[in-house]
Amino acid sequence: MTPLGWGGIAAAVAVPVFAIGTVVMGAAGAQEGALLAAGATNGGVCVPDARLAPPGPSAGRTAGLSGGQVARAAYAAGWRGADLVIAVAVAKAESDWNPTARNENTNGSTDLGLFQVNTVHAAILATGDPMDPTDNARMAYQVWTDAGGRWGPWVTYWRGTYKEFLADAQAAVGNVASVAASTVGCSATLVTAGGLSDPGPGPQAANGYTPRGENVRALTRARWGCSSGRARPCVSTIGGYAKRMIAGTSTSSDHASGNAADIMLGRGYGTAASQALGAQIAEFWMTNAQATGVKYVIFSKRIWYAGRDPVRPFSQWRPYCHPGAGCNGGDTLMHVDHVHVSVKG
């Protein structure tokens, strides 16, 4: 990674906790046949597929990481598709898949760990252990997200050095991607948060929101709000109280009862990074629905309904069609520009 041109440092943000930190994996693919066939839900609790488990905190310290371990760390961090392959190749070019790699730069900064995250990103580095490959991948993903979902911060990317390792990376990612595609339960990136509680049903406050509606707004703002100091993409505003019917219908909306929040992604909502943030927020409220009284979540033409749908990755949610506007409305009615969360009244 290079510090050049990347002085913008994100303020510390709430750190997602991966639900599968305790699963221990052997060499890539070695145990695949013996493990869970797929992620599943168990009484509403997400049981991720162990084959997608990222490496533990001290993995690879003596012999380096396998491609499969790097692929799982990158997958857990959030990369998908072509970017997942690029991530694994960039990590090879940056650190030779050595999680404890450390390189001093001539300008006094230091590159740390698997993805050689530069010390200019002090706030991000402070959120974990840079020499833990799974932590390091998560930090690198944050840097990538803050850069708009682009690889510019990595010198081995823009110099093209990573291309030499694309074949190795593709092979490593192949196994992870095929497991992920067959997983019907939940993804390895689902976040759970300790300490969330359900304030229970209650009357609307002066601002129109019920206690549960307000709880969703406050927690979302604290984690992802631009106002909490998070760099873009971030949540611009969280509204949602309005005395109105569902657009184009005569059905009273959850917005009229204060039981819904509209989590706006703001300008640039259509970028890959913004859409990834929306999916992360949507998955967060799904994963924590039971703990917080969430009834359903809508985002970017997909819907998840508590009690009806299993906990599963956003990409596997049901298609959403608006009750008034159908399946091809604008970006607001189709919820492309915001995450809608309804809570139980």
Q: List interacting residues with Zn ion (CB under 5 A).
A: 262, 340
Q: How far is the CB of 162 from Zn ion (least distance, A)?
A: 41
Amino acid letter, 35: L
Spatial distance between the Cα atoms of 335 and 332, rounded to a whole number of angstroms: 5
Q: Which is nearer to Zn ion, 133 or 278 (CB)?
A: 278
Q: Which is nearer to Zn ion, 2 or 220 (CB)?
A: 220
Q: How far is the CB of 26 from Zn ion (least distance, A)?
A: 46
Q: How far is the CB of 253 from Zn ion (least distance, A)?
A: 7
Q: How far is the CB of 240 from Zn ion (least distance, A)?
A: 6
Nearest to 91 by CA among 1, 170, 29, 160: 1
- Chain centroid to Cα 256, Å, comes to 30
Q: 105: burial class by Cβ within 10 Å (0-12, 13-18, 19+)? A: middle
8 Å CB contact between 263 and 304: no
Nearest to 18 by CA among 138, 191, 224, 137: 191
Q: How far is the CB of 324 from Zn ion (least distance, A)?
A: 12
Q: Which is nearer to Zn ion, 10 or 238 (CB)?
A: 238
Nearest residue relative to Zn ion (C-beta): 340
> What are the CA-CA distances from residue 171 to residues 35, 40, 85, 140, 208 (Å)?
21, 26, 9, 21, 53
- Chain centroid to Cα 304, Å, comes to 16
Beta strands in 131-239 (DSSP E): 191-192, 237-239
Q: Which is nearer to Zn ion, 72 or 340 (CB)?
A: 340
Nearest to 141 by CA among 161, 176, 117, 165: 117
Q: Which is nearer to Zn ion, 115 or 320 (CB)?
A: 320
Tokens at 225, concatenated: 């709000």
Q: How far is the CB of 303 from Zn ion (least distance, A)?
A: 12
Q: How far is the CB of 286 from Zn ion (least distance, A)?
A: 16
Residue located via tokens 């993903």: 141
8 Å CB contact between 230 and 11: yes
